[in-house]
Amino acid sequence: MDVVDFILDPWRSGIGRNALLEVLLLGAFCGAFAYWVVSERLAYATESLSHGLLPGLVIAALAGAPLLLGAAGGALAAAALIALAARDERIGPETGTAVAVSGLLGVGALLALSPDAPPRLSELLFGDPLGVARSDLVAAGALALLGGTALVVLHRPLSALAFDEPGSRALGLRPGLLRAALLILLAAAVTVAVQGLGNLLVLATLVAPAVAVRRYASTPARAMLAGSAGAALAGMAGIYASFHAGAAAGACVALALCLLALAGVVLPLRRA
């Protein structure tokens, strides 16, 4: 096989083309959004939300409903339950969230292992970018377009908030509303990205790109652009590895993203 075939073969296959487009679109948004996930310490919230929406995904799979719908419903229910559990001052927010998420994951697994369950649990948990449908691509495209617009519009207020919350309040900004906007974007990103990357691996695309670039970028905007490009490229590298090695695509993409993060942490510092 020559280099040209190596590069073009995935694009010649409909399945490979869809997978590459999916990771490009998801990487473009999630790689940029990851900056705020890491900067505002939302990694644990991301993991909680992505794991907690499993029952919604499984119920949608059992009912033959669109997984996107199940993910959205699961995310809403998980967010409500996590918020409720985290409010209990006797056990504290982190413990409450951990218990709620474990419970939701258990319910999801229980449903998925029932005799009526379709044999798709591994797809829900680990994702399958090679199995994305046209509707998944439309959702990823909408996320990239609408979510990207939101990031551009909110960029200055979010920067002011992250830099100095009391100062941002004195500027007339509303920190509570800005944080709510971040959480809505996070829920949308998890809901859409979980289709391709799965319940357990989606975290990689929402954290790893920011870890990879944050030491090098001199401004949040540059970090977001670099994160976006890095996530898209790492996603494509994962699909190529999966396509040519016959390995699980979701896992390959997650591993490529984590290798990118590792490189960003260990390589010598040269700020852009």
Partner 1 sequence: MSSAVAVEGLAVGYGGAPVLRDVSFSVPPARSVCVLGPNGGGKTTLFRALTGELRPLDGRVQVDGRPAYVAQTERTRLDFPVSALDVALMGSLAHGRWWLPAARQERDAARAALERVGLADEEASRFGELSGGQRQRVLLARAIVQDTPVLLLDEPLAGVDPASAELISALFDELRSEGRTLLVSTHDVRSARRFDLVLCLSRRQVAFGPPAEALDQASLEATYGSELIVIDDDGPLRAVTVQHHEH
Counting residues that bind partner 1 (by CB under 8 A) gives 23
C-alpha distances in Å from residue 187, one per residue of 35, 79, 222, 249: 15, 9, 24, 23
Among residues 147, 157, 196, 238, the one that binds partner 1 under rule CB under 8 A: 157
- Closest distance between partner 1 and the C-beta of residue 223, in Å? 7
Question: Under the criterion CB under 8 A, does residue 173 sit at the interface with partner 1?
Answer: yes
CA pair distance 35, 201, nearest whole angstrom: 18
Per-residue x/- track, 98-137, partner 1 (CB under 8 A): ----------------------------------------
Nearest alpha-carbon partner for 198 in 98, 14, 51, 36: 51
Question: Under the criterion CB under 8 A, does residue 164 sit at the interface with partner 1?
Answer: yes
DSSP 46-79: HHHHHHHTHHHHHHHHHHT--HHHHHHHHHHHHH
Question: Under the criterion CB under 8 A, does residue 160 sit at the interface with partner 1?
Answer: yes
Quick one: 8 or 272, whose CB is closer to partner 1?
Answer: 272
CA pair distance 14, 7, nearest whole angstrom: 14
Question: Under the criterion CB under 8 A, does residue 168 sit at the interface with partner 1?
Answer: yes
Question: Under the criterion CB under 8 A, does residue 43 sit at the interface with partner 1?
Answer: no
From 41-49, 78-86, 108-116, 219-227, span contacting partner 1 (CB under 8 A):
219-227
Question: Residues 47 to 86: which contact partner 1 by CB under 8 A?
Answer: none
Q: Interface residues with partner 1 (CB under 8 A)?
A: 39, 153-154, 156-157, 159-160, 162-164, 166-173, 217-220, 223
